[in-house]
Structure 1
Amino acid sequence: MMKSPNIVFILTDDLGISDLGCQGSTFYETPNLDRLAKEGMRFTNAYAACPVCSPTRASALTGKWPPRTGITDYINDQIGKLGGMKPGFPLLCPPAADKLSLSETTIAKRLQAAGYATGFVGKWHLGGEGTLPENHGFEFSIGGDGRGGNAHVGPTKLHNLEIAPGEWVMDRLTDKAIEFVAQSKDKPFLLWFTPYDPHTPLVGKPELVKKYEAKAAKLTAEFREEPPRKDRRTQTHAVYAAMLEDMDRNLGRLFATLPENTLVIFTSDNGGLSTSEGSPTSNAPYRAGKGWLYEGGIREPLLVKWPGVVKPNTINDSFAITCDFFPTFLDAAGVRPEKLDGVSLVPALKGKKLAPRPLFWHYPHYGNQGGGMAAAVRDGDWKLIEWFVIDRVELYNLKSDPGEQKNLATQEPGRVKALQAKLHAWQKSVDAKFPVKNPNPKSEAK
């Protein structure tokens, strides 16, 4: 019987579908992640469970769709209040949970009970004191607290970690991840590594910024209208590129320390930031980015390496979504599975295609990036988006129109009806909460 593998799960922050060389980027340089793809499997239909971070993070830890955890928006000061951050708009956001409940059974608790050492390093953003990683099954806990963002260079203070002036957060977090690996030699381990990169504020190491400024000087930044915003369509941002290369270099340092029998999964919490806060990246050929239910906001890189199980340099086009990681890790570790929203990806990792299934999203909030207040379903090549504020339905064939430019809703009323029925049944099954009409709207949604 094969020994239970070590498991390293890497969840980056705001990294987009096209932000790696192996994903098609010709501007960013990510040699270590490109090597990971060559040494393992790359999924082409992988998704985040939400277009913003906290719900996706909760989904990965619990194996549940975000509405089941109650975390349906990124955690912020107003998340528990009716109306959220847009009290004057036509619809009011429903309240959402402001922390990951201690009643949840996380993957860390399950694997810890099975004899795994459990370590968390990086961004948490699932609640503060009393509901930190160590309260959810991680015996080694560095960096994670209730904040959604953080400085990338010291001085700054993270949970159980001081960053001195001039020290880089990504460097120090990687040091701690390597430290956890080194101290976990006597039993299998789970490392949950969640870098703060490449989330804003955008700050890169000066020598790398200078390198990419020279590359960008030969390029032109291009944008496309995405009302009420503009969507970046080219990758030319030197600071963002510098952050990606430095993150890749640090991950290379971590990869070099991993034992042979280690399952490595790399992905992101939501799409790249393309319509707001400087719009540092482009998710082209996909539409929009973080905060939107278009493909640019939810489709993600997913790279998996597992020596002896995953055949190198392979591609799998099966659907995969965040809540699949929990059952995948249980399956890989030989731990008895339980009924979860996700499915194990292990059969796909062994070269099989997973059974067809629909994927769902529910985001009843106003996104900082211009999108939001919508729900969606993908079933086969077809994807339906149902907007709440503007009462509009969009239907796209992603095989012929991956950029979601041709709305086929009026031409395909039967398909719209069938997909809406599936979406509404799912929403009911997960007890999804909906926006409510604002009795005193002061302005139109923007």
Structure 2
Amino acid sequence: MKYYTNRTYGIVASSLIAAFFGLLFGVSTSAHELPNVVVFLVDDLGYMDIGANNPDSFYETPNIDNLAESGMCFTDGYAANPVCSPTRYSLMTGKYPTRVKATNFFSGKRKGRFAPAPLTDRMEIEEITLAEVLKGSGYMTFFAGKWHLGPTKEFYPQNQGFDVNIGGNHNGGPRTGNGYFAPFENPEIEVESPEGDHLPDRLARETCAFIRENKDKPFLAYLSFYSVHTPLMGRPDLVEKYEKKAMEVTAVEFAEEEQVFGDTPRMVRIAQKHAVYAAMVEAMDLAVGKVLDELEALGLADNTIIVFTSDNGGLSTSEGLPTSNLPLRGGKGWLYEGGIREPWIVRYPGTTKPGSKSSELICSIDLLPTIAAAADIPIEHPIDGVDITPALKGEKLDREALYWHYPHYSNQGGIPGGAVRIGDYKLFERYEDGRVHLYNLKEDIGEQNDLSESMPEKTAAMRAKLHAWYKEVNAEFLQENGESGSPWRP
């Protein structure tokens, strides 16, 4: 069944206009000369949730693992923030979200000891998005799934450079209808699915339909799954499969958070065993496979750049505690590695070596400049990301540091803080009281051994770099709330 034929006339008209101007000015819009781009963005997927990063994963992800075997897998790839909207902003714009006060999900204002920093609730229309960059060079652009970058339709994908929007709105999860099962009642899905249809598959089918209709033009297909975000809902057949598999897992599932974190007690999952979450992961993997198969069937795989990543770490400390990120510390909502280190897989035919790995530091801010470079599009406005093509070729990146800023109390128990990574070292600064912790991630991936006292010079140097970055991006910090006095200031 084709769900968006009522949009086809607009797509055809746009492509005819692009072709006319291409002939007029001698600019080709052939998909054989410009690479197609497919982006898979999975919501809340942890670094350890895929087999490519974790051979012992409880979840089965054969399509994602095969993608890694055909491209490059990054061991040190990051999200720009430990929660969704800020990272999604960075993927779209190539900028650190702190620059525009997009430092928490739109609009998360949970209070703690202090009031959170001022927070925006939208990506302004004036921002130049990845879709707009490519559209200006003749690309057809498609978005499906979770958007969560603005409160009203004015800020939805169709007003940010996408020719087609299937399901992208203000919601942070499938909050309408029957959640992950039809009827979806999503205002941005114009043709409803038959009852019981599964959302990941619906979004994959829409993506495949767009690719088929635009196979002779360069295109951007941005499939932004609502999966594996709560509510925890899985296909019954897959849930049954993993319930049986879970019976074979005898490991202890939970621990108190202070055993791992040393902060306010909170339960944390330490073993992957959640059958419903596993079903959600596999269904997402099947949807990825459907799109990859479509590219192969149409003969487009050799001219298509594929990027697979997530928006923040796996959910391990709240809302059902569905996954474990161990040996990474923390999870969604935390600035520890479990909250910001992400699956990053890139297949760039002719550039990436099949089955290769890279330990170069990359981040969601790098998507826009990398794709623009692949399409030979100059970026003439300020951004923070870099073109990671050298890393995709197995070379070193000219990057000194990556930065994070989260001046909020997360729904998942994470504490306000900032972080900087330089080489193997990561410094974490707490915003309530200014305490700092230094970790050598090469030797201590679980961030258990604080080196700040034994390495005072490195700690001071990294902290100075972080504070200079705060000034550069005009970072905001915790506010007084009338009860706890004044919070720390850098």
Range into which the TM-score falls when normalised by the shorter chain? over 0.9
Which segment is superposed worse, 234-243 or 406-415? 406-415
Aligned-residue RMSD, C-alpha: 1.6
Matched, 1:181 2:204: no
Shift of 1:304: 0.8
1:28-107 equivalent positions in 2, closer than 5 A: 28-76=59-107, 79=108, 84-86=109-111, 89-107=112-130
| Residue equivalent to 1:428 | 471
1:384 to 400, 416, 427: 427
Shift of 1:412: 1.5
Matched, 1:194 2:224: yes
CA contact (8 A) 1:156 1:164 kept: no
1:111 to 104, 128, 134: 134
Matched, 1:11 2:46: no
Cα distance in 2 for residues equivalent to 1:105 and 1:69: 13
Cα distance in 2 for residues equivalent to 1:411 and 1:419: 14
Cα distance in 2 for residues equivalent to 1:37 and 1:14: 19
Matched, 1:266 2:297: no
Shift of 1:112: 0.3
Task: Return structure 1 stretches of 4+ with deviation > 6 angstroms.
Answer: none
Matched, 1:404 2:432: no
Q: Structure 1 stretches of 5 or more lacking a match? A: none
Cα distance in 2 for residues equivalent to 1:399 and 1:244: 28
| Residue equivalent to 1:297 | 339
| Residue equivalent to 2:159 | 135
| Residue equivalent to 1:156 | 184
| Residue equivalent to 2:3 | none
| Residue equivalent to 2:393 | 350
CA contact (8 A) 1:221 1:236 kept: no
Shift of 1:438: 2.0
More strand by share: 1
Cα distance in 1 for residues equivalent to 2:441 and 2:308: 24
TM-score, with length taken from structure 1 = 0.95
- Structure 2 counterpart SS, 1:366: coil
Shift of 1:441: 4.3
Shift of 1:372: 2.9
Cα distance in 2 for residues equivalent to 1:405 and 1:85: 27
TM-score, with length taken from structure 2 = 0.86
| Residue equivalent to 1:319 | 361
- Structure 1 counterpart SS, 2:75: strand
More helix by share: 2
Cα distance in 2 for residues equivalent to 1:267 and 1:304: 9
- Structure 2 counterpart SS, 1:23: coil
Cα distance in 2 for residues equivalent to 1:357 and 1:331: 21
Of all paired residues, the percent bearing the same amino acid is 49
CA contact (8 A) 1:273 1:280 kept: yes
The C-alpha deviation readout for 1:151-174, integer Å capped at 9, x for no partner, is 111222221343442111111111
Shift of 1:311: 1.1
| Residue equivalent to 1:277 | 319
Shift of 1:184: 1.1
- When residues 164 and 390 of structure 1 are mapped into structure 2, their CA distance, relative to the original with a 3 A threshold, is farther
CA contact (8 A) 1:228 1:370 kept: no
Specify the structure having the higher radius of gyration (Cα).
Answer: 2
Cα distance in 2 for residues equivalent to 1:191 and 1:100: 20
2:248 to 218, 225, 234: 218
Cα distance in 2 for residues equivalent to 1:416 and 1:192: 40
For 1:104, the aligned partner's letter is E
Shift of 1:63: 0.3
CA contact (8 A) 1:14 1:271 kept: yes
